[in-house]
Amino acid sequence: MTLPIAFFARSTLEVARDLVGAVLCAGKGRRIVAGRIVEVEAYLGADDPASHAARGPTPRSAIMFGPPGVAYVYFIYGVHHCLNVVTEPEGRAGAVLIRALEPLAGLEIMSVRRQRDSQFRQRLSDRELCNGPGKLCKALGIDHNWNGLPFAPQRRRQRWLDLEPPTWPPPQVVATPRIGIRNAAAAPYRFLNPGSMFLSRPTGRSARSV
């Protein structure tokens, strides 16, 4: 069951919290990979200095003001891609950064994609495959060409994304400050499953249940 648009057309903080435990699937040609979301971060609009949307819409951030439930993919440090889910009703800016996954399917594909030189390298451990926003994009084969794709299965397309709700019972979720943020560093907008061994960083001492 795919998460409906109404799920994403809510406040970014609520969507971020509720995405922990959801299953992300990515299809590229015949290859399908999937993982359970264990860590995300919320990025808001004008009130959030750390957000790409903080200063209003620009060519890059305009997508954050658009319809919810689509991918916002950006290129960072000239090296990596990061995957977000656009939130809030159209006209209001918001996005949730996917920071870490527990790999569920296609682990061999992920490992090959993650290798710097694909030849003669040992297979990466499961916990290394998707434990960071840049790493999981590499493992899922996601780049700027995926920007704007809906989170809805369209299996006849070359590329598609899907998000399915957490299975029962939902995981425990805690909030901490976001990683790598200078402004507004204290805002507890990072949401994660503290019991997971697939996080990008340790939970941290300031974690609070939400």
Contacts to DNA by CB under 7 A: 41, 43, 50-53, 55, 58-61, 64, 72, 74-80, 82, 84, 95, 97, 114, 116, 132-135, 178-182, 200
**Angle between helix 133-140 and 107-114 (nearest 10):** 110
Query: Using CA atoms, how far apart are residues 189 and 174, in angstroms rounded to an integer?
Result: 10
What are the Cα distances from residue 72, in Å, to 68, 79, 97, 192, 207? 10, 17, 9, 20, 27
Enumerate helices (H) and strands (E) in the chain, giving the number of each. Answer: 5, 9
Q: Closer CB to DNA, residue 75 or residue 104?
A: 75
Q: Closer CB to DNA, residue 116 or residue 155?
A: 116
Q: Closer CB to DNA, residue 116 or residue 208?
A: 116
CB 12 within 8 A of CB 42: yes
Q: Closer CB to DNA, residue 78 or residue 91?
A: 78
CB of 14 to DNA, least distance (A): 17
Amino acid at 80: H
CB of 176 to DNA, least distance (A): 13
CB of 192 to DNA, least distance (A): 13
CB of 92 to DNA, least distance (A): 14
